[in-house]
Structure 1
């Protein structure tokens, strides 16, 4: 391959990976617009995010098999085409559940774009320049989810939310055409092992039913609804059967045997918690900014931009520290402390908090991710034999996606409960004998009367306006409670690092992406 073709192929596969990763976060700032346009609640609209994550959880473990069975070139180009077509259909969706369906299919297509892209980049660099390949791919991959909200905000406000999906179409077509002419099969072919379809089915059934219970349980009054009871039973049975089956089958889709490594098990738990923090924070922050603080989508996206820029610097620093022999445990501890501080500060904001305060706080979230992304994977594989490294890394990355999808469901349910609780508490203080309430109502009534509204109508509108204020305040308080809950999870998980203080140094040259 000529140098020009080689550079073009590197650019193409990194662009495809960035496109896939942008779609993990680009929808977050458009959720309010989507729910209004499609006539759905915010809780239901969050399925647009979780369906994509669930699809990734299902497809990532079998990417290696599909690459070998179908041929890397065919599978990769096919995945790009599926991702592109589903992007078009997402933009065309006329109701929420059609959108959720195509987001799921889009996630199946996107599952290959990251791992195969990474393999191609490493293959195109000689062994002595693998460090350059790691840095190039790492920075490219990290840019995707960090610029997603900013890009999504600008597109949603200046054009319309379907265009956050339409922008994938020209990129996808260009990537597919480029790979058709440039991408070849790997120099060393491996024999395709039999695929664990039973394991895949049990994982898909277990995750999807559990996700549904977490998402819909609060709305459906939990076990007062028959399908919630059945889905709970199915989830327990399917996930239990999945674990037993994967420990028995010769070629499992997820090799749970590697969890015999204490280091990997603890790293997987920490990665799960990181996934919760990563996904829920980028879900909650745009909702608060737009629905409660009155920010536009583009302003919301720009809140995350300074942190994104600093995070790229932080990512390079964490990589350099690992190369210089700094223990992964120490870097992870710093990342966890950044996330704890971020959640604590977010739990202190008010309806009058300026954008600068939130932007400053989000920097600690971004730095937390920068100090966790690579070190957590390095820790996960540090005690594994070379033959188990791919399975260990894949399992660890899957835990991040599971943490993200479950985290959003958890926060939706928890914030719903806390909103009702805070509303009840606030209403107990709104009485005729409360001088502040009386003064506020009289002010509203006087203002409405100034605009020609009769006394009775003015009083009715004043009560409605006061109730809206209670709803807004109770909603904010519930979200602040959610940040505190996430921060508490990080605090509880942090001591686990004490059990892996003597972890071995990471395997040289192994850099696993944010998936």
Structure 2
């Protein structure tokens, strides 16, 4: 249905709405990664196991992915302004409760509630910003929004590390409270709700669709978060949830296509730009969250950095993205084709992966990473705005919110798939590289024996007994083999992520060209 009124804003009112929406999106994404560095402190103060405390991350992610596809429908049911303000209030109150948790069960429950509020912030922020700008300025609007999406994962770890080092872990939740209060007040004062027609009575609400979506998405997210930990399909729970997720999605799609008032309007995917944008959002999420996950992991496990140092390493890359956003927004407004910008971004991201593949060693320094990460920022700058703009560019009215929900969910799922696949690949690839290295390491080789002798002699010189020194020398050699196997696995990951982006370049160029021409929807879907 076409909107009877224009939601386009001007002057200071548009500035206030934009700042409010970006801050809400930023809050939501920072909270996805800020807890990572505080898990050990939480475990100690709440008396939880490592498996229990990891649910602090998992519960938030599951709630996020469940609520995101429903945001468009919930906005129509309650009015966008009311729903957005309520989500901010839920997120803020849950943040307070998380900080005041006295046991791990409470913390997991409140994190789930926080995720239900937070998921709405991300997608509704994008919709509000998009509709506040006239169509010719939407590329710039997306640039502003995407900046928050890119900065969030990078800011989380260093900010969390600083708070944990200087205060205590509850303050990673308490910092949300003042921002949340101000954002809720500004939303109620300035954000307007579109007139989407009358809301449905309770009897017409798609309760079965809601249940199927919750079960399917919740199961899938659990599989992705916990699969590696539970050794994937050797776990009966993972097998059961895989079957449930498959059946849940199958029945959900059937339900939404036949029900008169679906909770998620799947027909909006007939729009070829949105369909392409959803696919690219998944790939972008894979690369963005995957690289944000792997670099801190490498610097902390191999180079021995702390969380704050690892987080600060990513800051120049984020600043590069910030620098690129308005430039790319201007290029799109001046008529540069989005498909060429996306293809260029993917090529640049491949170059970043190749540079990372070549520089990582046990002695790699922050200086070595600097230019590779600047190239990463350049690539994300060329990718993020064109993908978001293209996804929503030909949508109108309620379709904008529906499209934003799809691309937001796929970006989140892309990130979850990226982290799950990378962590699985790492653990298995390390074993493979280690066995290859050990196979080529002959203990009877004179060079190997000489190396062990020299290490043992150095330890004896420091006062160690000969038998202890020899044992320690063998342990050191074993440790260096493990480090080398791990580094080779990281190199493989960077190379494969790069190749994935490079392979997508011709597909992007061909697919977008075909979607612009008058081909059938069935054709364009392949």
Measured against the shorter chain, the TM-score band is 0.7 to 0.9
Measured after TM superposition, the shift of residue 216 of structure 1 is 4.1
Aligned length: 503
Give the alignment of 1:25-424 within 5 angstroms.
25-27=33-35, 49=57, 51-91=59-99, 101-118=109-126, 137=145, 139=147, 142-159=150-167, 161-176=169-184, 182=189, 186=193, 188=195, 190-193=197-200, 194-348=204-358, 349-381=360-392, 388-424=399-435
**SS of alignment partner, residue 343 of structure 1:** helix
Greater mean deviation of Cα atoms: 227-236 or 450-459: 450-459
- Counterpart in the other structure of 1:427: 438
Measured after TM superposition, the shift of residue 287 of structure 1 is 0.8
Partner Cα separation in structure 2 for residue 211 and residue 8 of structure 1:
35
Partner Cα separation in structure 1 for residue 164 and residue 452 of structure 2:
37
2:512 corresponds to 1:500: yes
Cα offsets for 1:195-237 (capped at 9, x unmatched): 4332232233223323333444444444443223222221221
* Maintained 8 Å contact 2:344/2:379: yes
Partner Cα separation in structure 1 for residue 139 and residue 490 of structure 2:
41
Greater mean deviation of Cα atoms: 331-340 or 116-125: 116-125
493, 500, 517: which one pairs with 1:482? 493
**SS of alignment partner, residue 24 of structure 1:** helix
Alignment CA distance shift 1:128-1:336 (3 Å)? closer
* Maintained 8 Å contact 1:293/1:352: yes
Measured after TM superposition, the shift of residue 461 of structure 1 is 2.8
Greater mean deviation of Cα atoms: 309-318 or 448-457: 448-457
Partner Cα separation in structure 2 for residue 262 and residue 256 of structure 1:
13
Alignment CA distance shift 1:114-1:72 (3 Å)? same
Partner Cα separation in structure 2 for residue 80 and residue 12 of structure 1:
11
**SS of alignment partner, residue 473 of structure 2:** helix
Partner Cα separation in structure 2 for residue 152 and residue 288 of structure 1:
18
TM-score normalized with structure 1 length: 0.84
* Maintained 8 Å contact 2:65/2:221: no
Greater mean deviation of Cα atoms: 359-368 or 301-310: 359-368
Measured after TM superposition, the shift of residue 73 of structure 1 is 4.8
Measured after TM superposition, the shift of residue 244 of structure 1 is 1.9
Q: CA RMSD in A?
A: 3.7
**SS of alignment partner, residue 250 of structure 1:** coil
Measured after TM superposition, the shift of residue 87 of structure 1 is 2.8
Cα offsets for 1:402-456 (capped at 9, x unmatched): 1111221111111111111122122223332234433343333233333433223
Q: Where do 5+ consecutive residues of structure 2 fail to align? A: 1-8, 518-526
**SS of alignment partner, residue 284 of structure 1:** helix
Measured after TM superposition, the shift of residue 32 of structure 1 is 7.7
Cα offsets for 1:160-184 (capped at 9, x unmatched): 555433322332244345556x356
Partner Cα separation in structure 2 for residue 353 and residue 289 of structure 1:
9
